[in-house]
Structures are given as structure tokens and as C-alpha cells.
Amino acid sequence: MTSETRPAPVVAAPIDRETIVGSLQGALSAKNDAARLGQQLAGQIDRIYFVSCGAPNRVMLTLEYWLDHYHSGYQVKRYFPAEFMTLEPELDERTLVVLGSKSGTTAETVEAARYLQDKPCVTVGVTTTADRPLAQAVQHVFLMGETEQAHTGIFIVLQALIGGMMHARSGWPLFESLMRSLDALPEVLVESALLSDARGKEDALKYQNDRILYHIASGPMFATAYVFGVCMLMEMQWMHSTALEAAEWFHGPFEILDAELPLMLLLGEDPSRPLMDRVVNFCRKYSDRLMIYDSRDLPMTGIDPELRPMLAPFAMQAALNRFAEHLAELHGHSLDTRRYMWVTEY
Ligand SMILES: N[C@@H]1[C@@H](O)[C@H](O)[C@@H](COP(=O)(O)O)O[C@@H]1O
């Protein structure tokens, strides 16, 4: 008789309040230092460059959006680290370069930080622990500690930094309530996940056999569409699952729409919402295979109503993660499986 080892079945991870909230305590305490540094740097900086890969890069997209919207007075640009180094953008002592990486080891991000070491500029980094190469290569580092919630953690720290800068430079009035709302965000992630679990399971059952899934969003919610579509379903489920900007939908991509193609449409509460309303209205005419997720359906308890638009992409991400967990279970494909990333040379 031979014994066979079967792989363990993939099971949707339960929503563990202690782990989610506990994972963000480091980021919450680092945010106070980040806000203080932001206030100190505010008058010494004219230009902010955001430099990161993948999910942290899209967190920075949300920061960029609000710096623009609130007419911060800073010149702002966002780069992928590999392009940043080949492009060699202008730097001077009034340039702040912000780098973020959960692992603190992502080669391109670490290289960019090292490239900047002998350049005239101020560098700030956010990662998990002090031993990470990124932590050692920047002038100012913010540490979140080991965390399963790095995506939201990086946002908490960097939004506090930027909030502090906007407050000190031009009296941005929402700074104090931002700090209070960021403190409430970990519980909001739990609340959003709990409220969305049944729906996530239902949607996963309905769409489990689809291999193609586009995600459409606008403004800062595009960060969530990208991270969910690309960093989760594409990277972790090997689906054809990419994100499209609502502002571009009617300039080519909408030709792909038919009654069979599933779409995930994400609505936020920021000034770009009318762009998504237009997309939703159009898609409803031609398809029933739409997953419409609206941050207005999430209570976001403890968040200042004026700041809901800024925090909504992160509450939404927590809600959508339930769909990914249930899909992984139905696909029998763990969210931790990679065939190339961290496994091969690239
Ligand atoms: N799924 C993650 C991405 O979301 C992340 O952006 C990237 C960079 O990771 P790090 O934050 O460690 O630099 O790694 C993986 O691909």
C-alpha cells in the first residue's frame, strides 16, 4: 500500500479582528512622527517625488491626487523606481523623495534609495523593520513593524506625512481630523470586511469560472482597482484581471464590453465620482455581469465625513479582499502561490 500526500485544501482566511488591528499599531504610532516631520519639512520643500513599485506606488497615487485637489503648492510626480533612475529627474535640496516598500528589499526601490544617497534631496522611507535595506538607505525612516496590513499601513504613515506638510504650508484644515480618522481606520477595515464577506462569497461563486475580469475606477479609487486587479487577482490567482481608468473607458476600452464580459466597477466618494456614474450607466445598458461596489455602502465608523473620500479606497480594499479569499478557495489556488515572483531570477 502506498501513501499519497495530498496538498492541503485552500480555505478562505477568516476575518481576524485582533490580527488586522494589531498589525496596524506600528503604523499608527509611526504616523505621529511622520506628521511631525511633515510639519518640519513643509517650508523647506518645493517638489515631492513618490518612488515605489506595485501596491505602494498606487498608495502614492492617492496622495498625489489629494495634493493636487487641495492645491498644496508643491510640484508632485510619481515614478516607478526603475524609470526614476533611467530618467534622472531634476533634484535639489528642496526636493523630497518618498519611497515605500513593505519588504524593504524590493530591488528597484532599494537601488533608487541608494542612487539618491549622494544627490541633493531629502529622502523619506516607510517599511517594516530597521534591518531592511530600504530602512538603511534613506535619511528619515518610518517603521510599521512586521505587518499583514502593509498596504494600509504605508498609507497611514504617508498620508500623515503629507497631511502635516499641507497643514504647515497652507493651513490645510482637516489635519487634526485626519489624524483621528487614521486612528479609526484599522477597525474600519474589520467592519468593511465583515460587512462584505457574504457578498464576496456570493460573487466568488458566481464568477469563479471567469478567467477575464476588468476593474474600472476613477481618481484615488483607481489605486484599489489596480491593487485588487493586478496585485491580487493577476498575481495571486493568475487571472486576466487588469484595471482601467474611468476617464479612459470611452476612449477605446469600452469596445470590449458585451453581455458575457464580467466587470468590477468601484465607486468612491471623491470629486471623480461622476466619471464612474457615467461608466455604470453605460455598462448597465449592455451587461448584467457587473459587480458594482460603492464605498457609500460602507459605514466607515469613526471617519470624519469630510475624509471619507480619502480613506474610502482602503475600506474598499478590505471589502474586496473577501471576494479574493473566497475565489482562492473555490479555485483551490492559494493567494500565496507564485510561479516567478521571489521564486526565479528576474
Ligand atoms: N503583491 C505585491 C505588490 O503589491 C507589491 O507592490 C510588490 C512590491 O513589494 P514591496 O512593497 O515589498 O516593495 O510586491 C508584490 O508584488
CATH code, 194 = 3.40.50.10490
**281 falls within a domain:** yes
Quick one: 154 and 79 in the same domain? yes
Q: Any idea what the Cα angle at residue 271 is, between residues 266 and 274, rounded to 5°?
A: 60
pLDDT of residue 50: 98
pLDDT of residue 130: 98
pLDDT of residue 3: 55
Atom of ligand 1 nearest to the CA of 54: 6
Atom of ligand 1 nearest to the CA of 104: 12
Q: What is the ipTM of this complex?
A: 0.93
DSSP state of 216: E
Quick one: 217 and 289 in the same domain? yes
Ligand 1 center to 55 CA (angstroms): 6
Quick one: 166 and 275 in the same domain? no
Chain CA centroid to CA 188, Å: 15
Report which secondary-structure segment, H or E, holds 165: helix 150-170
Atom of ligand 1 nearest to the CA of 236: 1
Domain count, the chain: 2
Ligand 1 pocket (Cβ < 6 Å) reads 53-56, 101-103, 106, 109, 231, 235
For ligand 1, atom 6, the nearest C-alpha belongs to 54
Please give the C-alpha separations between residue 336 and each of 179, 208, 331, in angstroms, as whole numbers: 33, 18, 13
d(CA 52, CA 77) in angstroms, rounded, equals: 12
Residue at a domain's end among 172, 205, 233: 172
**6 falls within a domain:** no
**3 falls within a domain:** no
Chain CA centroid to CA 232, Å: 11
74: how many CB neighbours lie within 10 A of its CB? Answer: 19
**339 falls within a domain:** no
Ligand 1 center to 54 CA (angstroms): 5
Euclidean distance between the first and final Cα of the chain, in Å? 43
**168 falls within a domain:** yes
For ligand 1, atom 4, the nearest C-alpha belongs to 55
Edge-first strand listing for the sheet containing 75-79: 75-79, 47-51, 95-100, 122-127, 140-143
d(CA 151, CA 254) in angstroms, rounded, equals: 30
Quick one: 164 and 21 in the same domain? yes
Ligand 1 center to 153 CA (angstroms): 13
Ligand 1 center to 225 CA (angstroms): 15
Quick one: 147 and 283 in the same domain? no
d(CA 317, CA 221) in angstroms, rounded, equals: 9
Global pTM value: 0.96
d(CA 101, CA 127) in angstroms, rounded, equals: 5
pLDDT of residue 5: 74
Quick one: 160 and 271 in the same domain? no
Quick one: 212 and 85 in the same domain? no
Question: Could you tell me which of 265, 300, 303 has the C-alpha nearest to residue 192?
Answer: 300
Quick one: 21 and 167 in the same domain? yes
pLDDT of residue 1: 46
Atom of ligand 1 nearest to the CA of 235: 1
Quick one: 21 and 129 in the same domain? yes
Quick one: 65 and 117 in the same domain? yes
Quick one: 88 and 149 in the same domain? yes
Residue 30, domain extent: 17-172
Ligand 1 center to 103 CA (angstroms): 8
Quick one: 238 and 148 in the same domain? no
Residue at a domain's end among 172, 205, 232: 172
Ligand 1 center to 227 CA (angstroms): 10
d(CA 313, CA 221) in angstroms, rounded, equals: 5
Q: What is the pLDDT along the chain (346 residues), one digit of tens a residue?
A: 455 677 789 999 999 999 999 999 999 999 999 999 999 999 999 999 999 999 999 999 999 999 999 999 999 999 999 999 999 999 999 999 999 999 999 999 999 999 999 999 999 999 999 999 999 999 999 999 999 999 999 999 999 999 999 999 999 999 999 999 999 999 999 999 999 999 999 999 999 999 999 999 999 999 999 999 999 999 999 999 999 999 999 999 999 999 999 999 999 999 999 999 999 999 999 999 999 999 999 999 999 999 999 999 999 999 999 999 999 999 999 999 999 999 999 9
**11 falls within a domain:** no
